[in-house]
Chains A and B, each alone.
Chain A
Amino acid sequence: MQNDVIIAGFGGQGVLLIGKLLAYAGMRDGKEVSWLPSYGPEMRGGTCNCTVVISDKPVGSPVVQHPRAALVLNLPSLEKFEPMVKPGGLLLVNTSLIHREPARSDVTVVKVPANEIANELANPRGANMVALGAYLGATEAVSLPVVEEIVRETFAGKEKLVTANIEALRRGHALGAEAKKGGQP
């Protein structure tokens, strides 16, 4: 069993961070993992992405051309990665910043208003956590409690951040889990 995902957005949205959290959590869960960032001449505001592979056996290629899932937080990322997702795969779209409908009909589309939810929670920088939660809910790539454990460790000593980010994760998770059941809201 292998889960692989490309997480993409603007530099500064925290896409590399949630990729790392996912990889840490996969490792904690006893899985084999790899985390591969794009590292072109990028800057804040430009697009960036990372590829995370979580597998039951040693990870072969850390480079994934056709991922089982793409988590896209902005429009340029949707443009770039929508065509790449494996047929039957998952396309998770941040509808707060992406105002066009995905064109693919052979993938499961999960729409997450990540920024709006994060704003609701008074944690505007937590949109990435909402998105990660939704990915976890839709795929169960790693169980939510394990990811929460990693969040607690990563932000240790910053209680407010821990609480806010776990709340964001859970809101996203509920959305993703519901979408998985087929009840896309």
Chain B
Amino acid sequence: MAKKLMKGSEAIGEAAIQAGCRLFFGYPITPQNEIPEYMSHRLPQVGGTFVQAESEVAASNMLYGAAGSGARVFTSSSSPGISLMMEAISYMAGAELPAVIVNIMRAGPGLGGILPSQGDYFQATKGGGHGDYRLLVLAPWSVQEAADLVQDAFDLADFYRNPVMVLGDGLIGQMMEPVEFRTERVPCKPLPPKPWASTGWRGDRAKAIINSLFLDPEVLEQHNRNLKAKYDAMVRDEVRFATYGTERPYDVLVVAYGTVARVVSTAVDNLREEGVRVGLLRPITLFPFPYEAVRAAARRAKAVLVIELSCGQMAEDVQLAVAGSRPVHFHGRQGGMLVSPEETAEKVKEILKQTGKEARRG
């Protein structure tokens, strides 16, 4: 297929359709309304169904129900709406159902604002809903990558029988970039049959019962252990990250994800031109987090800088990875304010000055 100029939100919708998703349940919220809008006109064209629910709570429970049938199902929302979906997401994780949830983050807490943010990192990667569960969390940095990751998300969800979240910010949703959909796409995981799907019982097999209630503690503990084994497999097999400018020696390693990493990549180019040695590591999976890669990359630097559109959430995972072997600095913008390449460069230079002073003192 030829390259098309598309808004991130539209590309996300089209990617879901290309991945074979024919069911969307959602409720409008800025800045991701273009996703349901796109699905509402595209799904009927391909024999699918679009439902605008009465609320995010309803939409997410429709998702839960439809996922139980084994169909590829999808919803999207933005931060406050995702909060409302957390109960159903926990149930889907407990009932081991595949589903794809896109969160185009806006600034919070509460209703906050409608501008870009990365304030939902904790919610996405550390739970959000109740109970001992994990979501696979994918963070695109471009419209093309958003389209690719949404398609992968459906494969990963089916493979692991687990909800997968694609975590973007308002920029990814709103900006337009060229996108190409591969016509002959190979799934990123083998797609297992779905004998667990509740598709109507005709007496020819065991009943497929979808449930997240286990009142016997021994049974529930075994269930928790099975889930844990699945999350461990994700940690072992699904870590994804990318680097920029780290093939050359660097003094400062910047860690950033999503569109912020795009901004940082420009800062890396500009700083390199000035002779400042800096590199970027960009986690693509936020769960599983690339702890090993960050640890190894940090060892080759004098200091680490984490940049986020939050007060410092991924920074905690970077600190865990670096484990005190290098100083970890943080720079964040909040409220919908963006970080610029110039601001990034300034911060890097500041850190270098500080590191130089400490080295002389030491």
Interface residues of A, Cβ cutoff 8 Å to B: 20, 23-24, 27, 32-37, 39-41, 59-66
Contacts and interface: CB of A to CB of B under 8 A. Distances in A.
Contacts of B31: 39
Contacts of B259: 62-63
Contact of B341 (A33, A36, A39, A60): A60
Interface string B328-358: 0000000000111111000000000000000
B323 interface: no
Given A27-B5, A60-B265, A61-B262, A66 B177 contact: no
B174 A39 contact: yes
A165 to B, nearest CB: 19
Contacts of B174: 36-37, 39
Contact of B266 (A37, A39, A61): A61
Given A23-B5, A40-B114, A60 B263 contact: yes
B5 A33 contact: yes
Contacts of A34: 175-177
Given A60-B262, A61-B263, A62-B259, 10 more contacts: A20-B5, A20-B176, A27-B5, A34-B176, A40-B115, A59-B177, A60-B265, A61-B266, A63-B339, A65-B341
A65 B345 CA distance: 13
Name the 10 nearest CB pairs between A and B, nearest first: A60-B266, A61-B266, A65-B340, A35-B176, A61-B263, A36-B175, A60-B265, A34-B177, A61-B341, A63-B338
Contact of A24 (B5, B115, B175): B5
B153 to A, nearest CB: 23
Interface string B159-195: 0000000000011001111100000000000000000
Interface string B123-147: 0000000000000000000000000
B258 to A, nearest CB: 12
B105 to A, nearest CB: 14
B3 interface: yes
Contact of A65 (B115, B175, B269, B342): B342
Contact of A27 (B171, B178, B341): B178
Interface string B255-268: 00001001101110
From A20, A34, A66, residue with most partner B Cβ within 10 Å: A34
9 contacts: A20-B5, A27-B3, A36-B171, A36-B174, A37-B174, A60-B341, A61-B341, A62-B262, A65-B340
Contacts of A60: 262-263, 265-266, 269, 341
Nearest to A66: B342
Contacts of A36: 171, 174-176
B2 to A, nearest CB: 10
Nearest to B144: A58
A60 B341 CA distance: 10
Contact of B177 (A35, A40, A64): A35
Interface in B66-85: none
Nearest to A37: B174
Interface in B233-280: 259, 262-263, 265-267, 269
A62 B5 contact: no
Contact of A33 (B170, B178, B266): B178
A66 B170 CA distance: 21
A24 B341 CA distance: 25
From A23, A37, A59, A60, residue with most partner B Cβ within 10 Å: A60
B264 to A, nearest CB: 8
B177 A33 contact: yes
Contacts of A64: 340
Given A32-B178, A33-B177, A61-B340, A39 B114 contact: yes
B266 A41 contact: no
Contact of B5 (A35, A41, A63, A65): A35
Nearest to B268: A60
A55 B256 CA distance: 23
A7 to B, nearest CB: 14
Nearest to B265: A60
Nearest to A36: B175
Contact of A62 (B115, B175, B178, B267): B175
A64 B270 CA distance: 13
Nearest to B343: A65
A123 to B, nearest CB: 25
A39 B5 CA distance: 19
A144 B106 CA distance: 38
B269 A23 contact: no
Contacts of B343: 65
Interface in B291-349: 338-343
Interface in B6-39: 30-31
A81 to B, nearest CB: 14
